[in-house]
Homo-oligomer: A and B are copies of this chain.
């Protein structure tokens, strides 16, 4: 099942000394080439207590260029980490393209330990493993090279190592406790390895009894993985022709079923706005006190009134409690990461709200329609996004997503109005007109987005945007309802 170790299980000193300089030189060269090839490398070092994981990580660091490597341990999380979904700390540690991240401890640690200690039920353990598979598949699809090393130590050997560590005073407090569960640990980790041993991210199991053997083997496996990827031609840039699916004008669209006729009179609007804002303001403080976070995502046609709707929301909330993040072109630090990274990094701390003006759905809207992203990549995004939102929901984050809909004629009216009014003119660009010309293509994209990403934990709210007043009140009411449901 796992890649067979290619060397014998012990390595005499002479062999080690003979092979080391070549290996180090090759690793250095590969690391240097990596800088220009711009994919991230994630090395996971896992395995039994006392198997020499620490020594191995130290050795790998020695063999690579320290400026291009970061090692992450994931000890007890900081409060900033605990206030976000569990994967936040892994996203935070993700190496950018061209860099190597060594994960000493990783997304495997918590599920395995919890399952061994019995605090996690079998079916929840399997769910955790499914999440890992999805996560690694997503990273790999984005170009990441995953090298997962598992150091295996027979029971007898582990006992010997622990005794040795004990004599040297280097034993960790739980080591003997864990050892008593050796059989259980073996069973659980075998299940974990089997279920997460994928083509994208295969496990490499290394017999860890002999130090020289395990180091040489780990180095060789890392080098092999690096070389294999480096010797492939670079993936072509993700430009692609967008319109593989020609939109059909007469296709049945969920958007056509949005009733755009409701309107509010000024009096109704003033009354409803004031009432909802008052409630929202209080709820935002209640959320703060109960450490409940909220994430709002705003999408919609150009000129649908996203900006002014967001204003009506934030007016109601103490500015210390929210942050508005406008999503435009990514910074170069963001470009060096998976596209979801820029949203993960902005997740609010416990009790706070982040409002995204445009969101992660750009992947399946503008990037799809404009052909900025290959079909295979945006097609995969629906699952990736659902998983992201599921993690938010599991952590208890209140999530609302708004698509502000608009009739095509109404959009035209607003464009013309903007051009006519001097201080609104900056709001209308040639890009808006270009987007308008692609109305039908966007409609197909929106339809698919709503169909695929309106999940139980994270439903889309379609907002009737022809009347701005009605739309704003609808949005406020939705936010209020979501908060009231959990506070």
Contacts and interface: CB of A to CB of B under 8 A. Distances in A.
Interface of A: 25, 28-29, 32, 54, 57-58, 61-62, 65-73, 78-80, 102, 104, 307, 310-311, 314-315, 318-320, 323-326, 331-333, 349, 355, 357, 423, 426
Most chain B Cβ neighbours within 10 Å, of A61, A102, A357: A61
Nearest to A60: B319
B58 A319 contact: yes
Top 6 nearest A-B pairs by Cβ distance? A67-B326, A71-B319, A73-B320, A66-B324, A61-B319, A332-B332
B29 A423 contact: yes
Number of copies of this chain in the oligomer?
A: 2
B67 A318 contact: no
A67 B104 contact: no
Given A67-B324, A67-B325, A331-B332, A62 B29 contact: no
B104 A70 contact: no
Given A333-B331, A426-B32, A62 B311 contact: yes
A175 B32 CA distance: 60
Q: Which of A25, A57, A314, A325 has the most CB atoms of chain B within a 10 A radius of its CB?
A: A314
Contacts of A58: 315, 318-319
B57 A319 contact: yes
Q: Which of A28, A65, A307: most chain B Cβ within 10 A?
A: A65
A423 B311 contact: no
Contacts of A25: 423
Contacts of A79: 78-80
B320 A104 contact: yes
Contacts of A78: 78-80, 349
Contacts of A72: 320
Nearest to A349: B78
A455 B323 CA distance: 41
A62 B308 CA distance: 11
Contact of A331 (B65, B70, B331): B331
Which residue, of A65, A66, A423, has the highest number of chain B Cβ atoms within 10 A?
A66
Given A32-B426, A314-B66, A326-B67, A104 B61 contact: no
B73 A311 contact: no
Given A66-B324, A78-B349, 17 more contacts: A25-B423, A28-B423, A54-B318, A61-B319, A62-B314, A62-B315, A66-B355, A66-B357, A67-B307, A67-B325, A67-B326, A69-B324, A70-B323, A79-B80, A104-B319, A332-B332, A333-B333
Nearest to A72: B320
A66 B310 contact: yes
A69 B324 CA distance: 8
A29 B424 CA distance: 10
Nearest to A104: B320
Nearest to A65: B307
A102 B319 contact: yes
Contacts of A355: 66
A278 to B, nearest CB: 13
20 contacts: A29-B423, A57-B319, A57-B320, A58-B318, A61-B314, A65-B307, A66-B310, A66-B357, A67-B324, A68-B326, A69-B324, A71-B319, A71-B320, A78-B78, A79-B80, A80-B80, A102-B319, A331-B331, A332-B332, A332-B333
B319 A357 contact: no
Contacts of A426: 32
Contacts of A57: 319-320
Residue in A102, A310, A331 whose Cβ sees the most chain B Cβ within 10 Å: A331
Contacts of A104: 319-320
Nearest to A334: B333
A310 B62 CA distance: 11
Contacts of A66: 310-311, 314, 324, 355, 357
A54 B317 CA distance: 11
A32 B422 CA distance: 14
A64 B79 CA distance: 32
Nearest to A328: B67
Contacts of A28: 423
